[in-house]
Amino acid sequence: MRHSDLLAALLPPVSYQPKAPRIRAELNAEGRMFDALYSGIKGITGGVTPFYAENLLPDWERVLGLTADATDTY
């Protein structure tokens, strides 16, 4: 479910019409922002431990003081 749909469901049923053009535009803009935030949060929550860090692994290596030796082969 998209966040714009969730935001529309939170509107008071009598006071607002979620299908009105200006309200729909605002809900779409805010919903896209929440969608982008949610997709980025998955990488951050995985970085809490080094096991799921993926893109944040260089940060973990820096924090823990791990350096690769030039003679190491992987």
Query: What pLDDT does 34 receive?
Result: 94
Domain residue spans in the chain? Answer: 3-64
Q: Quick one: CA torsion of 18, 19, 23, 25, rounded to 10 degrees?
A: 130
Q: What is the mean pLDDT of the chain?
A: 85
Query: What pLDDT does 1 receive?
Result: 80
Chain segment 6-16, per-residue pLDDT in tens = 999 999 988 88
Of all residues in the chain, the percent with pLDDT exceeding 70 is 96
Residue 43 has pLDDT above 80, yes or no: no
Chain segment 47-63, per-residue pLDDT in tens = 777 777 777 778 888 88
Residue 31 has pLDDT above 90, yes or no: yes
